Amino acid sequence: MLGTFKAVAPYLKFNPKKVAIDNGVFKLHYRWTFAILMVATILVSSRQYIGEHIKCISDTINQHVIESFCFFTTTFTVGKHMNESSLKSGAIPHPGVGPYVQEVDEVKHHAYYQWVPFVLFGQALMFYLPHLLWKSWEKKRIYNLVNGLKMIGITRHIGKAMTVGGRDIPSMIETDTRVNDIKESFKNRLSCNEFWGGKLVLCEVLNLANIVLQIYITNKFLGGQFLRLGLWFLREDWQGPMDSLDIVFPKVTKCEFHKFGPSGSIQNHDTLCVMALNVINEKIYVFLWFWFLIVLIASTAAVIWRFFTLFCYRR
């Protein structure tokens, strides 16, 4: 199992000695959120953790055929059977599963489960894009600045240049010259540095815009029910045979398969499907609801603070 997630490990490493070109809120996007979404993508794509994604019961149709058909088309639930009272009384076997009249009863088709890994992977890339943009603009300026100054504390105690452990330590005169060059370069390029800092602010705003966009995309992807998902989870008592998450992520669904009979007439085969994949999907999206909320609050506070500091600087 650990080998499966090995590709995500480099993004979770913490190196306190590494020169930071951004802040902690920025890292929430391109490091932590990116890693979380990649782990989620691996989970929903790996049958070894949840078994077969779908299992269907049919009387005369080949099981492999009916399972492939129902997974690649859509399964559905009946709206009037999303009723916990009917479930407790034994009128229906599962939430959303029961007899219905076509063109009369409301049914809800579920096709999102086919696209979950692709959407999660695409969202992971979108969280990483502002970081790539900032790296292309930053061009290791901060790294070179820090690397050029890190030996100042040592050179104050030595008079000449030397090499220790394969690293060159400049002399005190050379260090003073380097510091003065940096000072003059910084003063002579104030306008350039201001424009460069503006790019960092732009990337922080892009992070905020992106998290708002991802919440909107996820909500549309789940049929407009993502915004309430976390609230439903918090209000749920988990005592009855049906919970609020079954509305969005049904564990058992219906599927209809049509084929020609011996005389050429169309035969309708009603199928019951167990959606093992939704057991993982509901956990992922409930977690993402809380995580996106945290990232949204942190990103909003970071942008407000950034503009507040810019305003105070201008004054």
pLDDT digits (tens, 9 = 90+) for 216-269: 999 999 988 899 998 888 888 777 677 788 888 888 888 888 777 777 777 777
Closest C-alpha among 135, 302, 137 to residue 204: 302
| pLDDT, tens digit, 9 for 90 and up, residues 283-294 | 999 999 999 999
Quick check: 50 pLDDT over 60?
no
Q: What is the mean pLDDT of the chain?
A: 79
Rg (CA), the chain: 28
What is d(CA 290, CA 231) in angstroms, rounded to the nearest whole number?
Answer: 10
Q: Which whole number is the average pLDDT over 36-62?
A: 77
Report which secondary-structure segment, H or E, holds 191: helix 190-221
Name the 3-class secondary structure at 57: strand
Quick check: 194 pLDDT over 90?
no
Domain-wise residue ranges, the chain: 6-15+24-139+195-314
Nearest 5 degrees, angle CA 273-CA 276-CA 280? 145
What is d(CA 4, CA 59) in angstroms, rounded to the nearest whole number?
Answer: 38
What is d(CA 51, CA 249) in angstroms, rounded to the nearest whole number?
Answer: 17
Location of structure tokens 């815009």: 209
What is d(CA 280, CA 91) in angstroms, rounded to the nearest whole number?
Answer: 28
Q: Between the ranges 39-53, 157-171, 182-196, where is the mean pLDDT highest? A: 39-53
Contact predicate 84/242, CB 8 Å: yes
Q: Determine the pLDDT at residue 74.
A: 81
